[in-house]
Structure 1
């Protein structure tokens, strides 16, 4: 048999046929599916097969999830390892000399125990006084005075240094310093230089009043006070009784106008004390105030015959002054060859009477100046009064006659006398004089008052005024006399070293020549570009803040943008300063003799006075508002210009190592000046510096309403030493400038760092953010040491005391509260903030 045929039938053998009873009657089953469907076959492995088929398509999904979980775990582990590695990695520090110096200054100034959210000024400046003890020369001391003293030291060292190939003006500055320091020659010459000047002015060697006897006939003595006042103005540049200046036309900044009123330049010579000039954010602010129309009343004047009751302090000061003036006049009597023909007792008696008469008259005239000034009516700021000289005379004559005085023609004669030393010829029909209402009132009352004063008393008053400002620049004996009187009326005061006095004098009289000597020739390529960038960023920041302001209408915003764009900046020193021959042209006509100190200063004033009178017909050349050696900054409204002297572009205001520190210090100062163009005063002047309306009435109304917040805030600042408060209204303009400047500088810093990238850390301040360093630098800017006397003086100023300048702006900054994590309602995170820009 064929065992594996498999061709016809079953391969295992032949077909077997069953019987009918054994064969089931079912249809043929073709395959396994048919068997399972009919229930005949149950596979042993059916569950596994079913699982494999059910999840066959889901398997990749589970694999992806597992891989993702593994990757996530790996990422977390790597992140933790990276964070640990970064934490252990040394922080990038700024190790430059500038950064190390800034870190040391900040650390030594701070009081870390203070809570920055409670008293940030104490936190930033609590130990500044111990690290910067106040010199006896100053009643108060701060970074500005500290820097100015160092500038005088630098000037002194330069003037002492032997140099060659310097411009003539620089050499003259050195010779002037030599003359100032030559006290031997000054003592040898005595008071003769002053007496010679007095004679040229039409004044006697000592007041005629001193020789008065009981039988003196007042009617026989004559004195032409007006002629003397004219000579004083043209020869030494000093205002006595009458104030005069050539100033930019408030409505047209491209031309000059004549301005008259109360005396402005009452001391044309440098001060013997190095107290810094108080920044007022503007040029010739007093004159600008006069351009704003003021209310006035009927003019009446009565000479005081009885003295008002002074308190103890005022009485003490009065006695000091009277004794000083008596001693001053006595020295001139003794110096004169024509000695008074009186007994010593009668001489002393007359000296005391003369000093008392002068003091009374001086107070009377001072009251005429101050009592006639009233609050400005800003709604009429565009109506600047102008008069012909004849109109002025007619008006003042009417007031004199109303007060039973004798009118005399003085105003045309005064102007003719002034311009006689110049090349300018006046046209009294066309050349009108700008005089504010308060100044016209003063001129009328002054003429009335003077008409009642005997000529011998008029001579006495003018003599003392002139002799006083010149005498301090002569002998050691006179300087000591002045210093004693100064110390008696100014506590905590000591004399400034002679070398610094002389450096101050030369710097004040020949500031551009001194600047030439100490200017850095690399300034144009290194420092100036940085400052230009900073200023542009500050302008952009202000423009952005203006854009966000809801209280300005669109037209006013557009005008504001235009003014920001047109705003000019004078940085460091004039571009022409280092050019050959330019300095000689600037000081053309000046002569200096190292043996004649007083005459040197008088000659410089004469040249300056003539140049001012000669430029009357010229167009405005938008010159510098200050010398490059002055530690200050200015905004000149009528030129829409900010001036930043070169000494402000150095430590402690700039070049501090980090941008956060630079913007917190100098940046806020520059922002302050920029904001002045739009503060309570600056808003009166348009993009060209003209006093013309350019804000809409609705914007002005909104602005005035918003300023009340600042007035209330700063008026609430209490000074326990004086039991008094800050005057929020008087300081309004400066407070707005402080607040706006700080906000602009912070916004500019953020923009700057966004472009440049994060800055390195400051050594010792690694945990401080850039914003915290910015605020710390701003607070440090206002560190100071003050006496009670200086605080009292500060309350009379248009700036708030230093600590409130820091406190006010930071309290109004939400960014400050966020940077220092100050809880809501804390002292430095109040619920109410004052914001304009």
Structure 2
């Protein structure tokens, strides 16, 4: 390797061989010419030119003295020139032959993609590390220095790096003037323009928020502040009516969580589902949610059953654990200050008093209101989290069904046991929500899915509400609603949010407004954005390659299943059938580029570049109504995400994997060599395929129905084998945090990582046998395709994180990147062979965990 200003530059392949051969040829020619001259000079003293010549046979003019040498050279100048030219031609011919011979012997990939991949791998690696002891350091040791973490991120990796580039791409597209685009694309551009028009946002001030509050049945500022001397004892407030309006107009859950959920035992029909609040902020993530909630059972089940992700792209702060008392103590005073300032802005705007005594009184009331909200919020969050339970692999995932009257009777009993007065809630709520749709519920036939934990929450919430004064309930709902709307208004309120957010999350920089707005438009109108940036060559060039890769991965899993001794034959047959039936959504929906289909998809949405907040509200309203109207329609396969999200998904209830188009680009795909593509994207897709058969997927059959399709003996064997993974990953330790990975919590993801790696490697071998050997990667000619595969896999998980981000990682389903990279490789015998790792080394342990 050559070094130039600290950058490692791979040598030109065969360079040393060519130079050595050229030098050898040149030395030979030089030596011959020197010998010839030596013989001529020797003749001066001996009277002969060669051993075969005599004085009598000398040609006229031959030099016989030193003084005649010069004249001899002049007379033979032409011969010398011809000789030199001949020598040069011989050198060029030799070099050309050597180069051609070398290229014939080493087939190098010199495409742009290969050179880019080679450079990326080279600058990321720490070749001083022993790959058999610390493969992550070997692969990613220098990644952080080449990819510095932006201040706005607590962690940064390939997924976030790519997502940020996607936002830049979206931003640039939304800024461009384009013609002949669908209406929905122009609406996306108008929404971006409205988001960027901060002058208009500031000029409109709080008017859009106050107008929305009025439609929800809420005042311009909380009545609790008592700006007009309200008699609290006589004050009334229909909290349930407002909660219904918040759901239908904003798409937001407050106090009550509601969703339409595919029936677990019949994936062709939908069911109503209720519980604790699920959608607590349906607005774009211009700023991440500041509030953290306890584990919400309804939300947990949806995440657990519906979507299993390759990577949570952005470390959202709501993932941070409520178990951290230090974090809560740090955030509580900041929250109180934030809510105090938030309410003060509205009070000042609404009252406008200049009476200093009155102003001081209002200020005290605002402080009291902020404190009251924080306490109420804490109480309700406690109700949400206190009844949550961990979902175990052995748990029966069946969710009970109830009529609305049965739910009401249960909650009434709890309210009365707490010395309260029972009030009809649930039928009124459902009627109010569906009142904006075309659906009329049959409360005898339309039963509701409610987990035991959620039923407990609903009952305790009803009892809590019964005892809470209406003015406090209004305060609670007012703050919840205003908090999500206000950040999309004035500069003053955006700054207030950022000021409150930074101290608790260590951020030192603000994401540029253009990127925030691109993100917001992408969140709300993702398909329209995808239409605008879709690669026209994708359908005919990239997509067929991905379909081939997925088919090879599924075939590999089938072969691995065939070898599995822990599955009985009937379970294997059912598994083959599920693999065959597994569907793939690749890139973007087939209908996206069809004329008129995009506008049909966004029918009903109205965008005005001068009314940014109203644009967001309108989109949420249209989406809510569409979901409600589809309640009685048969379920169709749906995209789990927009094509612009850097992620991949497996939807167990539809037996489908979704691969967005931005995942089918560098640094995950189009890497130049199949060994690199399969090591990166191939392992990601294999991960998603394996999710159909992990600790969650085993509950769902080929049609996505939660029906028993594994034999009891196979289930017992599977559970026994999972203990190996739990033990292995629980040993991984983060010294900076003095904490271990939770092997049980991360079990499903770890199984998917291990299975995906094995499937991808088997698929690569099959692919290369069919297509023939691949070229060598420049600078990595000494590496085999298997070594490059593992190197690409390790590079996939390169990243850098703060301590807070790592602490957050330990609370979610995925293992931190360091252990994702090494855990699956430690269980792979072929990795140890590829890198010649001695038995007992860190990456070649004596015990391996294998299921698939």
TM-score using structure 2 length:
0.84
- Alpha-carbon displacement from aligned partner over 1:568-618 (angstroms, at most 9, x marks no partner): 000000000000000011000000000000000000000000000000010
The structure-2 alpha-carbon separation of the partners of 1:146 and 1:289, relative to structure 1 and needing over 3 Å to count, comes to closer
State the Cα RMSD in Å: 2.2
Q: Which residue of 2 aligns with 1:134?
A: 149
Aligned to 1:45: none
**Aligned partners of 1:813 and 1:833 also within 8 Å:** yes
1:710 counterpart residue number = 725
- Per-residue CA deviations over 1:550-569 (Å, capped at 9, x if unaligned) read 11111111110100000000
Q: Relative to 1, partners in 2 of residues 1:285 and 1:463: Cα closer, same or farther, differing over 3 Å?
A: closer
Structure 2 partner of 1:199: 214
Aligned CA distance change for structure 1 residues 311 and 412 (closer, same or farther; 3 Å)? closer
1:110–1:125 Cα contact (<8 Å) kept: yes
**In 2, Cα distance between the equivalents of 1:631 and 1:813?**
27
The CA distance in 2 between the partners of 1:393 and 1:772, in whole Å, is 62
Q: 2:646 matched to 1:631?
A: yes
Structure 2 CA distance for partners of 1:339 and 1:449, relative to 1, 3 Å = farther
- Deviation for aligned residue 1:273: 4.1
Offset of residue 406 of structure 1: 1.8
> Quick one: which of 696, 699, 716 aligns to 2:711?
696
Question: Does 2:542 align with 1:527?
Answer: yes
Q: 1:287 to 1:134 in 2, by over 3 A?
A: same
Asked if 1:415 corresponds to 2:414, the answer is: no
1:323 paired with 2:313, answer no
* Match for residue 218 of structure 1 among 207, 229, 232: 232
Cα displacement (A) at 1:254: 0.7
Moved more, 533-542 or 369-378: 369-378
Q: Deviations over 1:595-653 (max 9, x none)?
A: 00000000000000000000001000111110000000000010000000000000000
> What is the DSSP-based 3-state SS (H/G/I as helix, E as strand, rest coil) of the residue aligned with 1:627?
coil
**Counterpart contact for 2:226–2:365, Cα < 8 Å:** yes
Name the SS of the counterpart of 1:176 in structure 2.
Answer: helix
Tell me if structure 1 keeps the 8 A contact 2:393–2:696: no
Residue by residue, what CA displacement relative to the aligned partner does 1:278-304 show, whole Å, maximum 9, x if unpaired? xxxxx9962347889xxxxxxxxxxxx
Change (3 A) 1:256 1:121: same
Counterpart mapping for 1:476-555 below 5 A: 476-555=491-570
Q: Would you say the 8 A contact 2:305–2:652 is kept in 1?
A: no
Q: What residue number does 2:10 align with?
A: none
The structure with more radius of gyration: 1
Distance 2:715 2:753 in 1: 20
In the TM superposition, residue 492 of structure 1 has moved relative to its aligned partner by 3.6
Q: Residue 372 of structure 1 is aligned with which of 387, 393, 402?
A: 387
Instruction: Give 1:274 shift.
Output: 7.8
Instruction: Tell me the secondary structure at the aligned position of residue 758 of structure 1.
Output: coil
Cα pair distance change 1:633/1:368, threshold 3 Å: same
Aligned counterparts, 1:539-618, within 5 A: 539-618=554-633
Q: 1:661 to 1:446 in 2, by over 3 A?
A: same
Whether contact under 8 Å (2:336, 2:374) holds in the other structure is: yes
Q: Which 4+ stretches in 1 moved above 4 angstroms?
A: 83-90, 289-292, 308-313, 337-342, 377-380
Task: State which of 815, 821, 824 in structure 1 corresponds to 2:839.
Answer: 824
Alignment partner of 1:271 is 2:280: no
| Aligned with residue 255 of structure 1, among 269, 282, 287 | 269
Q: Shift of the alpha carbon at 1:311?
A: 5.0
Q: In the TM superposition, what are the counterparts of 1:90-489 in structure 2 within 5 Å?
A: 90-211=105-226, 217-273=231-287, 286-288=300-302, 313-337=327-351, 343-376=358-391, 381=396, 383-489=398-504
SS at match of 1:524: helix
Please tell me whether residue 645 in structure 1 is matched to residue 660 in structure 2. yes
1:41 aligned residue: none
Report the Cα distance in structure 1 between the residues aligned to 2:616 and 2:473, rounded to whole angstroms.
26
Note the C-alpha offset of 1:85: 11
SS in 2 for 1:526: helix
Cα distance change on mapping 1:339 and 1:85 into 2, 3 Å: closer
Partner of 1:245: helix, strand, or coil? strand
**Contact 1:274–1:496 (CA under 8 A) maintained in structure 2:** no
Maintained 8 Å contact 2:753/2:820: yes
CA separation of 1:482/1:352 partners in 2, compared to 1, >3 Å: closer, same or farther? same
Distance 2:644 2:237 in 1: 43
Aligned to 1:31: none
Paired residues of 1:119 and 1:827 also in contact (CA < 8 A): yes
Whether contact under 8 Å (1:381, 1:684) holds in the other structure is: no
1:492 & 1:339 partners in 2: Cα distance?
Answer: 36
Question: Unpaired segments of 5 or more residues in structure 2?
Answer: 1-97, 290-296, 307-321
Please state how far the C-alpha of 1:339 moved relative to its aligned partner.
5.8
Gaps of 5+ in 1: 1-82, 276-282, 293-307
Residues 484 and 382 from structure 1, CA distance in 2 versus in 1: closer, same or farther, beyond 3 angstroms? closer
CA contact (8 A) 2:223 2:475 kept: yes
Q: Deviations over 1:443-491 (max 9, x none)?
A: 1111111111110000000000000000000011111100011101101
1:6-41 CA distance string (max 9 Å, x none): xxxxxxxxxxxxxxxxxxxxxxxxxxxxxxxxxxxx
Question: What is the DSSP-based 3-state SS (H/G/I as helix, E as strand, rest coil) of the residue aligned with 2:268?
Answer: strand
Match of 2:683 in 1: 668
1-structure distance, mates of 2:768, 2:508: 45
Q: Distance in 1 between matches of 2:324 and 2:544?
A: 56
Query: How far apart, CA to CA, are the structure 1 residues paired with 2:323 and 2:404?
Result: 40
- For these two proteins, the number of residue pairs brought into alignment is 733
What is the CA–CA distance in structure 2 between the aligned matches of 1:690 and 1:251, rounded to whole Å? 5
Q: Distance in 2 between matches of 1:287 and 1:710?
A: 23
> What pairs up with 1:80-91 in 2 under 5 angstroms?
90-91=105-106
CA contact (8 A) 1:261 1:435 kept: yes
Structure 1 residue aligned with 2:811? 796
Q: Secondary structure at the match of 2:540?
A: coil
Structure-1 separation of matches of 2:573 and 2:435:
47
TM-fit CA distance, 1:309: 13
Q: Provide the rounded CA distance (Å) in 1 between the counterparts of 2:610 and 2:369.
A: 33
User: Residues 274 and 661 (structure 1 numbering): CA distance in 2 closer, same or farther, change over 3 Å?
Assistant: farther
